[in-house]
Amino acid sequence: MNGAEPAPPDMCRLPEVHLLSRPVDMYRVYVAGILVQLTGCDPAVAYNAVQAATTLPKGDLTIPVPRLRIKGKKPDEVCADLAARFPEAHPLFVKPAPTGIHLPIYLQPRSLIQYLLPYLFERNEQYGHDRADGEDNKKRVLVEFSSPNIAKEFHAGHLRSTIIGAFIANLYASMGWDVVKINYLGDWGKQFGLLAVGWQRYGSEDELAREPLRHLLDVYARINSDFKPEQDASKAARDKGEDTAAIESNGLFAERNAFFRRMEDGDEEALALWKRFRDISIDRYTATYARLNIAFDEYAGESQVKAETVKAVEKLLVDKGVYEEDNGSWLIDFGKHGSKALGVAVVRGRTGTTTYLLRDVAAVLERETKYHFDKMVYVVSSEQDLYFQRIFKVLQLIGRDDLAQRVQHVNFGKVMGMSSRLGNVKLLSDILDQTANAMHDVMRRNQTKYAQVPDPEGVADTVGIAAVMVQDMTGKRINNYPFDITRMTSFEGDTGPYLQYCHARLCSILRKAGLSRGELRSYILEDGGATATATLAPDLKTSHCVDLFRLMAQYPDVTGMALKNLEPSTILTYLFRLTHQLSSAYDVLQVVGAASHEIMVARAVVYESARQVLENGMRLLGLTPVER
């Protein structure tokens, strides 16, 4: 690097510098080195002042001058001074022009390309994904997601948890964490007593064999409507302040409670039936999750929490004086423990029954013993925000602040109008089937292209899934969004099908040029990309090619940012920027139709790099890129 300032070796050792996984960090180190030379500021301060620019026209990097903390001078003057004294003809950077208090930094296109090409082709599917830490000091994260309730509808909240949770699990894994994926089924409670009663009345072995999940839903819905009048009567009595005991000791109430009591007492016959329903459900779910490339490491669930752990939690609640008794049930009045906003919660029912909250607290302790996790993430709707704050507060109150520090609730908003738009969808497979059908219809509208797709059903399924997932991950997690089947299955706009189309188009460029990925790879690695860079020199006169590389260089920064905010939209927004950049390049940077074979190969390299980045991002999001 003739003429470049030596990067201060101390700076390379800063924990935030990832030279081997984030190419832009090499530039950051060099810019920071220049800043240290010009201002004498602290290396760490200089390094952290070098920010990513928000858009390409604003630079590749930018230095908000106040971040350099130089005393006694106006930031815009310091900025102008830095620009004036910035090295001329630097091999890595274009000489910057100040814009107010920001010093924008533009990378030298030619050196960027020569640097990035081998960087990218050496890493391929690892590019942007940081496993540099190695096996020894792998951190472990538990990601709990999806978590539907057995014999109940798989609703939009479960769908979002599944999509976002799988993304978070992929993201941690790609960043070198050891990931344990947990599905915490809603598989315990009085409703199983009711389901069992329903099974005695309405159950059919044939139907259970044919469509187990739907049949269980059906049985539950029927018995539940039988039960409704009794429930209403009990509620009315309670509202009037009357005793509900008479109502609840008769009819379905009594049958339900008796069956659940048997389950809680460990009655073998009762448990066998419950286990059968649970096993069948897990079996069906596993198959449907596979369509989404998801496999859980553990099907946990409310039923799996051990009685002795619950007892241990209860003992802690007693010892630490956290709960108070009310009519036999145990309450926590969070206001008395400094958290008024958390209200009052029941932790134990009147007859000593466990609650959702108590089971969850016990589950954290069990997972800690079983997995020794560094971090645990719950991917659950924002409707349970208060609930998770309560769990975490209880952990603190029982003296486990250390655990409370390691757990995080990753929340998300609502999907509006899914069932009204898709018709009667009660199962995850219904949602996926219906979108696949809608996708198939959209595909059939273009008969010529449709005829070229080798496996239209399979492609419709994959692209339909991409449609649902991309729609879900487009906005910030916390936002609500309307389920819009027409929009999400369209090939136009920032949709899943559009992303798939872009990937397929990149694949077809290589096919048409008759070049394989392997060939391109050896072509780059043979001379470190020197020939390709030289051949591309004329293309660097317009921004199309250069901007593609500038964007590709950012990808590892983008995944790093996503690991902090756990927002799928961070990745998705980036991928759409990349695909927009690509679509404006096709006409200018033609591969078939290039002036020479050499130029054709060099340009194919550009598209293949972009394809790899697109694929990496898509896989992180849980999408399966299609080739045609």
Which residues carry out catalysis? 152, 155, 158
For ligand ARG, the closer of residues 149 and 303 by Cβ is: 149
Using alpha carbons, select from 402, 414, 388 the residue that is nearest to residue 477.
Answer: 414
Structure tokens at 62: 């930018």
For ligand ARG, the closer of residues 34 and 194 by Cβ is: 194
- CB of residue 214 vs ligand ARG: minimum separation in angstroms? 18
CB atoms within 10 A of CB 1: 11
378 binds ligand ARG (CB under 6 A): yes
Q: Which stretch binds ligand ARG (CB under 6 A): 143-151, 448-456, 500-508, 537-545?
A: 143-151
Structure tokens at 493: 């706009």
Structure tokens at 305: 């929490």
Kindly give the interhelix angle for 212-239 and 251-264, rounded to the nearest 10 degrees. Answer: 120
- CB of residue 347 vs ligand ARG: minimum separation in angstroms? 14
- CB of residue 380 vs ligand ARG: minimum separation in angstroms? 5
- CB of residue 295 vs ligand ARG: minimum separation in angstroms? 19
The sign one gets for the Cα dihedral 578, 581, 586, 588 is: negative
Per-residue b or e along 306-325, where b marks 16 or more CB atoms closer than 10 Å to that residue's CB: eeebbeebbebbeeeebbee
Q: How far is the C-alpha of 17 from the C-alpha of 560, rounded, in Å?
A: 11
For ligand ARG, the closer of residues 144 and 264 by Cβ is: 144
Biggest alpha carbon–alpha carbon distance for the chain? 91
The amino acid that residue 628 corresponds to is R
- CB of residue 140 vs ligand ARG: minimum separation in angstroms? 18
- The residues, ordered by sequence, that sit 6+ positions from 234 with a Cβ below 8 Å of its Cβ are 244, 247, 248, 253
- CB of residue 184 vs ligand ARG: minimum separation in angstroms? 5
- CB of residue 248 vs ligand ARG: minimum separation in angstroms? 25
Q: How far is the C-alpha of 399 from the C-alpha of 406, rounded, in Å?
A: 14
For ligand ARG, the closer of residues 234 and 384 by Cβ is: 384
For ligand ARG, the closer of residues 157 and 560 by Cβ is: 157
Closest residue to ligand ARG, judged by C-beta, is 186
Q: How far is the C-alpha of 319 from the C-alpha of 24, rounded, in Å?
A: 54
For ligand ARG, the closer of residues 17 and 361 by Cβ is: 361
Q: How far is the C-alpha of 101 from the C-alpha of 123, rounded, in Å?
A: 37
- CB of residue 349 vs ligand ARG: minimum separation in angstroms? 17
Q: How far is the C-alpha of 167 from the C-alpha of 619, rounded, in Å?
A: 9
Q: Which stretch binds ligand ARG (CB under 6 A): 102-110, 142-150, 442-450, 608-616?
A: 142-150
Cβ contacts of 433-440, under 8 Å, gap ≥ 24 = 435/464, 435/465, 435/467, 435/468, 435/485, 435/488, 435/489, 436/460, 436/461, 436/464, 436/465, 437/464, 438/464, 438/485, 438/489, 439/463, 439/464, 439/467, 439/489, 439/497, 440/464
411 binds ligand ARG (CB under 6 A): no
For ligand ARG, the closer of residues 360 and 539 by Cβ is: 360
HEC string of 339-366? CHHHCEEEEECCCCCECHHHHHHHHHHH
The amino acid that residue 99 corresponds to is T
186 binds ligand ARG (CB under 6 A): yes
For ligand ARG, the closer of residues 388 and 498 by Cβ is: 388
Whole-angstrom Cα Rg for the chain: 29
Q: Return the H-helix or E-strand segment holding 179.
A: strand 178-185
355 binds ligand ARG (CB under 6 A): no
Residues 34-63 that bind ligand ARG (CB under 6 A): none
Residues making up the chain, counted from first to last: 628
- Binding to ligand ARG by CB under 6 A, coded x per residue (else -) over 265-294, reads ------------------------------
380 binds ligand ARG (CB under 6 A): yes
Query: Which residue blocks in 292-417 are alpha helix, DSSP H?
Result: 307-319, 356-371, 385-397, 401-404
Q: In whole angstroms, how far apart are CA 278 and each of 12, 13, 149, 343, 429?
A: 53, 51, 10, 34, 17
For ligand ARG, the closer of residues 24 and 182 by Cβ is: 182
Q: Which stretch binds ligand ARG (CB under 6 A): 141-149, 285-293, 324-332, 399-407?
A: 141-149
For ligand ARG, the closer of residues 90 and 160 by Cβ is: 160
177 binds ligand ARG (CB under 6 A): no
**DSSP characters over 72-86:** TS-HHHHHHHHHHHS
27 binds ligand ARG (CB under 6 A): no
Q: Which of 360, 461, 494, 615 binds ligand ARG (CB under 6 A)?
A: 360
Q: How far is the C-alpha of 123 from the C-alpha of 126, rounded, in Å?
A: 5
- CB of residue 292 vs ligand ARG: minimum separation in angstroms? 18
- CB of residue 146 vs ligand ARG: minimum separation in angstroms? 9
184 binds ligand ARG (CB under 6 A): yes
Q: Which stretch binds ligand ARG (CB under 6 A): 94-102, 144-152, 396-404, 506-514?
A: 144-152
Q: Which of 149, 288, 569, 609 binds ligand ARG (CB under 6 A)?
A: 149
Count of residues in contact with ligand ARG, rule CB under 6 A: 8
309 binds ligand ARG (CB under 6 A): no
- Binding to ligand ARG by CB under 6 A, coded x per residue (else -) over 494-533, reads ----------------------------------------
Interacting residues toward ligand ARG by CB under 6 A = 144, 147, 149, 184, 186, 360, 378, 380
